[in-house]
A and B are shown apart, each in its own frame.
Chain A
Amino acid sequence: MSEPHKKNRLLWLVAFALLLVLPLAVNNYVQFVVNTMLVYSLAAIGFNVVIGYLGQLAFANAAFFGIGAYAAGLSMAHLGLPYPLALVAAAVVGGLAGALVGLPALRVRGYYLAIVTLAFGELMRWMYVHADSVTYGASGFNVPQVVLFGRGLNETGKYYVFLLVTLLGLGATRFLVKSRIGRAFVAVRNNEAAAASTGVAVLRTKVVAFAWSGLIVGLAGGLYALLNGRVSPDTFGLSQMLMHFAIVMIGGLGSLAGSIIGAVLLTGAPELLRNFPGLEEIVFSLLLMAVLFLMPRGIGGLIADRIPGARERLYQE
């Protein structure tokens, strides 16, 4: 193994160790914020698969997030599933929803796809409100407490669950986008006709990307159900969607590291301004504008330009 590789591996190990001992250094509130960052990181990673790697302007991410949260929460509330199985349910249902939303993407694209996927999200929200015998209607429901070793999970416990799931999701997505399938995503993004002519099955590739995105984001939704202990329809509306969009744009399209950086920044900054109505949104928007003007490819792109080793292989214009 070459020297720089060894150094990199060491860096990762140190970072991982720091993440493991982080709960020792923070209080409950900060722990909650960090947990939120982890959940949004995973959601952004999943979103980036479709919007960054596949290059499709699909805005169903908040819908997948909600579907995952409802799948996890309801399977615990109605079927009494233990939390790990509820997470599996969230991933499976999210993946199916992703494949379903991938179908219109075969027919419409661009703004049309953006709008039809936004509509899908609102349709889901409407269903949560009106299928109230199953979903508890407009006011939502409390997710049953997750008990581990006879005690309810506290913020620190949740942190380790989130860390584990997020790292697994990140690792699996990284593996996927670096594989033949992931390269097909990028080929479709860059030029569908060219991709098809070199033997990429465009339709199948799109559906796979959407299904994977739905799976990861559904998983993130399952985490979200545990994070807040409460699931309600109004959480998964337009503002949730725009939040995910902003995270990915600021972090950088087609950059997994960027997804995480964006999530950390955008979930952290509003927390600081929580007590000033409106200020949160103003700062948020100025941050977005600054990124659009100064670093059009997001923070992930900026890092890729400056630090050669950090370049993600598929990242380009």
Chain B
Amino acid sequence: MLAQLIVSGVAVGCVYALIALGMTILFRSTTIVNFCHGEFFMLGAFAVLVPLQTLGWGYGWCILFSLSLLFVVGMAVERGLMRPLQHAPHISLAMMTVALSYLFKGVARFFYGREVVALPPLLAGDPVFFGDVVLTPQDMLIMGVVLVVVVASYLFFQKTEIGKVVEAASETPRGASLSGINVPLLRNLMWGAGATMGALAGILIAPNTLVYPDMGGHMLVRGFAAMTLGGFGSLPGAVVGGITLGVVENLAGGYVSSALVEITAYVVIIIVLLIRPQGLLGNWRRARV
């Protein structure tokens, strides 16, 4: 039972980690907390669903389409809406992401009303047994994909030249521009990357849950909780925080009460911020507001 709960928790936690990773990349490159990340997640799932249902494309093409579309959307949002406001107070930037979240939800609702649809599983097949632990192929796929993304981002940020440039640009934007780094371009790309990660999370989890305009709200909070737990603004923290949150949620649900699952994220946020605001891996850095 314990092993099963932990393993399923890791599978869910991987999705949270992906969400938190996308939000952290945005936060680091622009110091914006993105309240519309849940909508990137939702749009990602819809961008698979729509061509799949109406145009009859293959699943793989739909996923490719969705990821590229969200990359473009992320960049367009940065260029069109965030950059013109970059000297505005932070609260205005936060409000802009809130406005965007309304816009995306509104567009989705306009076409899909109160319909709730499911995506077919990406990997069909029977659950696999490892001793007492059962895993669905979908869960394994989620863990695999997230592992790949995490390793790839680690390599990108730690080992490649351009990754280090991105890091430099998020640490001290002014210094980076002075040494000839095109900071706006990097921000633009990071918005694209963040949105794509959100979309990927949406695509991965949509077969397990359902696709509907309001599906992002829950995830946004899970992302916040994962970031807070791991350490706000820390990339490894986002991953560790996400997976830990998934496991804690599952354990609380399994051993105490299933009613606790939905509230775990909030309790985690409150406890962490009051006791150890820097989180598990972060260093205490004040957000500019």
Query: Does more than half of chain B's interface fall in helix, strand or loop, or is it mixed?
Result: helix
Task: Give Cα A119–Cα B99 distance, bound, in whole angstroms.
Answer: 20
What count of chain A residues pass the 8 Å CB interface test? 42
Q: Let me know if A281 and B105 touch, CB within 8 A.
A: yes
Q: A284-B102, A288-B95, A288-B102 are in contact. Are A115 and B273 (CB under 8 A)?
A: yes
Pair B274/A107 contact, Cβ less than 8 Å:
yes
Whether A123 sits at the interface, judged by CB under 8 Å, is: yes
Out of A109, A126, A238, name the residue touching B263 (CB < 8 Å).
A126
Interface string of B224-239 (1 = CB under 8 A from A): 1100100010000000
Contact B106 A114, beta carbon cutoff 8 Å: no
- Is the pair A286, B270 in contact by a Cβ cutoff of 8 Å? no
B287–A282 CB distance below 8 A: no
Would you call A246 and B98 a contact (CB within 8 A)? yes
When distances are taken between beta carbons in the complex, the residues of chain A under 8 Å from B259 are 126, 130
Of chain A, the residue at the smallest CB distance from B27 is A111
Q: Quick check: is A122 within 8 A (CB to CB) of the other chain?
A: yes
Instruction: Flag whether A224 is at the interface (Cβ < 8 A).
Output: no
CA distance A283 to B107 in the complex (A): 10
- With a CB–CB cut-off of 8 A, which chain B residues contact A107? 274, 277
Q: How far is the CA of A245 from the CA of B96 in the complex (A)?
A: 11
Count, chain B residues at interface, CB 8 A: 49
State how many angstroms separate the Cβ of B223 from the closest Cβ of chain A: 10
Interface residues of B in 70-92 (CB under 8 A from A): 81, 84-85, 88-92
- Report which of A51, A119, A242, A246 forms a contact with B266, defined as CB distance below 8 A: A119
The reply on A110 being an interface residue by CB < 8 A is yes
- CB pair A281–B273 under 8 Å, yes or no, is no
CB distance from A293 to the nearest CB of B (A): 7
Chain A 85-122 per-residue mask, 1 if CB under 8 angstroms from chain B, else 0: 00000000000000000001001111110111011101
Nearest CB in chain A: distance from B127 CB, A: 31
Question: Chain B interface: which of A76-84, A203-211, A272-280?
Answer: A272-280
Q: Which of A238-272 contact B (CB under 8 A)?
A: 238, 242, 245-246, 249, 253
Q: Contact check, A115 vs B106: say whether CB atoms are below 8 A apart.
A: no
Q: Are A119 and B289 in contact (CB under 8 A)?
A: no
Contact call B99/A288, Cβ cutoff below 8 A: yes
On whether the beta carbons of B98 and A115 are closer than 8 Å, the reply is: no
Q: Which residue of A lies closest to B270 (CB)?
A: A119
Q: Is A292 an interface residue (CB 8 A)?
A: yes
- The answer to whether B33 has its CB under 8 Å from any CB of chain A is yes
Q: Which residues of A contact B (CB under 8 A)?
A: 51, 57, 104, 107-112, 114-116, 118-120, 122-123, 126, 130, 237-238, 242, 245-246, 249, 253, 276-286, 288-289, 292-293, 296
Q: Contacts A112-B228, A284-B106 known; list 16 others, CB within 8 Å.
A: A110-B287, A112-B273, A115-B269, A118-B221, A119-B267, A120-B266, A238-B217, A242-B98, A245-B95, A277-B110, A278-B108, A281-B103, A282-B102, A282-B106, A292-B95, A293-B84
Q: Which 7 A-B pairs have the closest CB atoms?
A: A281-B106, A278-B110, A278-B109, A285-B102, A282-B106, A288-B99, A285-B103
